[in-house]
Amino acid sequence: MKLQNHSLQLKGKSFLPIFAGGMGVNISTAELALVASDLGAIGHISDAMIQQVSDKLYQTNYSKLKQKKHRLSLLCEDKSQVKFDLEHLYNSQRVHVERTMNRKKGDGLIFLNIMERLTMGAPSDTLKTRLTAALDAGIDGVTLSAGLHLGTLGLIKEHPRFNDTLIGIIVSSVRALRAFLKSASRHSRLPDYIIVEGPLAGGHLGFGDDWEKFDLNTIVREVSNYLSEASLSIPIIAAGGIFSGEDALKSISFGASGVQIATRLTVTKESGLPEHVKQEYFKANKSDLVVNNLSPSGYLMRMLKSSPCLESNVRPACEAFGYMLSREGKCAYIDSFKAANPDWKSRNKVQDKMCLCHHFSKCTCYTCGENVYRLKDKAKQGSDGIYELPDARDVFMDYLS
């Protein structure tokens, strides 16, 4: 049995059982998502730092305008007045989604990954704006990530596409799923799919320091059993460490209806990572990986030890960005920078946190999945030591065949 012999059912329609993960900042490009949808699979784009993405792709200047508006807070730690212009936020999201959807071909779908943990100084207002813009722009589906999303559905329950748009949730435990389903039941809107993300995933992890004790397929089976006991028929998508078609079939045998892949797509021609970062991924060995708590999000994060973001001394970039600011204008990196630089002007290295916004905007945080060191086994290396970048289509077909 091959993966291509399986199909994924979503709202009565059949698709290839592969999701392309929604990696920010614009690693999961429109081009990457379009390849997936053209094949009849599910592609993702991400709205992480969407105004920065808009500035880069569509020549807007939202980040500069925001920085100019809040320039008086540049040299102080009080960021309580740093807020997003919701019209700018809406427009950046809508244009990115709309332009992607207008290019869509094939029988597949394109989803948007939306992180709750991007609190942006006004959690509910900014999240509602991002969701509304995506729905207005015609996105096929929305994947809720990086958070429990207990109040998210309530933000869009009055939208005319609330029941028509596919909605999914990413969880790493039955406990998290149970909490979301309880909140979803209040709006009579259960998720259309559930992505179960294991501890080998890239970037932020939904586990604590004991992440090594957990196993993706064990969690998949636990979620499958829970849904069965609750008489719920919701497709499970296994994610995190799915490096081959064989891995995918194993997860399906544990109760998954499909899989989500990401690591192997990061180094494709269509990926938004800079060329030199893709080569860093190819060159990586297993000993080059680290899981740390440097993210101000509070989540553990997996990355390469060669990431330039480590022990950086950059001043908090909240005025232009500020995607991690709480409602009160707080961020763990601000506290760490202040501790290392009490006068706010020095540039001593910050040891315990990193400015996620700055380093993600510069692609200097090399987040990755556990299997990144295996990428070289799937690639051709030239005589100059440079690895050839695969086409995304070829990667998908390798999983299927």
pLDDT at residue 388 greater than cutoff 90:
yes
Residue 345 pLDDT: 86
Helix (H, G, I), strand (E, B) or coil at 157: coil
Mean of the pLDDT values across residues 124-128? 98
Mean of the pLDDT values across residues 104-132? 97
Q: What residues contact residue 324 under an 8 Å CB cut-off, 6+ apart?
A: 117, 118, 119, 120, 296, 297, 331, 332, 333, 356, 357
Mean of the pLDDT values across residues 264-268? 98
The residue type of 335 is: D
Within 13 Å, how many C-alpha atoms sit on residue 22's CB side?
26
**E strands, 159-231, in order:** 166-171, 193-197, 203-205
Over residues 280-326, the pLDDT tens digits come to 999 999 999 999 999 999 999 999 999 999 988 999 989 999 999 99
pLDDT at residue 361 greater than cutoff 90:
yes
pLDDT at residue 382 greater than cutoff 90:
yes
Q: Are 265 and 43 in contact (CB under 8 A)?
A: no
pLDDT at residue 1 greater than cutoff 90:
no
Q: Which CATH architecture has domain 3-400?
A: Alpha-Beta Barrel (3.20)
Residue 75 pLDDT: 86
**What confidence category does residue 123 fall into, taking pLDDT thresholds of 50, 70 and 90?**
very high
Structure tokens belonging to residue 179: 């909490």
Looking at the DSSP bridge assignments, the partners of residue 168 are 143, 193
H or E element at residue 229: helix 216-229
Q: Can you list the alpha helix ranges (DSSP code H) found in 341-388?
A: 356-362
Structure tokens belonging to residue 370: 């556990």
Residue 311 pLDDT: 85
Listed residue (108, 84, 156, 147) closest to 8, CA to CA: 108
Structure tokens belonging to residue 159: 């939208």
* DSSP result, 238-254: EESS--SHHHHHHHHHT
User: Rounded distance, CA 115 to CA 21, Å?
Assistant: 13
Domain spans, the chain: 3-400
Mean of the pLDDT values across residues 188-202? 98
Q: What is the mean pLDDT of the chain?
A: 97
Helix (H, G, I), strand (E, B) or coil at 80: coil
